[in-house]
Amino acid sequence: MCGRYILIQKAQVIEKRFGVIVPDTIQLVPSYNIGPGRFAPVITNDRPNEIQLFRFGMTPSWMTKPSLFINARSEGDHNPDNNPTYTGAKGIITKPAFRKSVRSQRCLVPADAFIEGPEKEKLNRPFVVYLRDQVRPFAFAGIWDCWENTLTHELIYSFAIITTVANELMQKIQHHRSPVILNREDERKWLSNTLPLADITQLLVPYPAQLMNAYPIAPTIKNQAANDPGLIHPVGERLMQETILHGTKEVKITGMGSNKKFGFDEQNPTGH
């Protein structure tokens, strides 16, 4: 499950990174705690060259009442035990809530990092999960839909993040799922309107754990109204050792070290 994530990049960074424009009608505000019900930037297959704001938590168009599907399981009803070695069928293509969207309504969900906790303790013991080497923003694989409120006739555009089996890092957190993070070269494939469905579902795999890391934060992130840099300050060491090259010396980072250079730097998210 991926129910909270972070996006604090400036509009110019997002435009350059994804080759899109941010319309003048949209003001991007740094968000340290994007959760269900919040509106957040997406890049959709029908408007792949611009940012739109959709609600996090998808309501399929055919539903009679609003719902919030924040995640969509790539395996669908397969792999009920969340076996991390599962490589079988992608049942998302047959699930009523998602089968239309995964075929024709896909989106990129830009993010700098995401928040996850153990399966049992959840956000009572949260971690910031990020990509190493200052790789941000990145993109989750998402799906979207448009639902009409039959009483007000308001159209609600919303999205869900696709999840897959847990990689090694998520297993260290003791969580049973991973959000699908797309390789940069696969992002435009995900938005393609002509790529065969079989090729689309092949993209629904865990991101390599060796390219990621995580550190614990305080459970104040549970408060959906909270949104400030202090939410993501470390309260413990990283889960995985990191090694960098500094001149001719190899430096191993085993603790929190310097957050501005080696961790998730909330003050300088681009790493420049």
Residues acting as catalytic residues: 2, 116
3-state secondary structure string across the chain = CCCEEEECCCHHHHHHHHCCECCCCCCCCCEEEECCCCEEEEEECCCCCECEEEEECECCCCCCCCCCECEEECCCCCCCCCCCCCCCCCHHHCCCCCHHHHHHCEEEEEECEEEECCCCCHHHCCEEEEECCCCCCEEEEEEEEEEECCCCCCEEEEEEEEEEECCHHHHHCCCCEEECECCHHHHHHHHCCCCCHHHHHCCCCCCCHHHEEEEECCHHHHCCCCCCHHHHCCCCCCCCCEEEEECCEEEEECCCCCHHHHCCCCCCCCCC
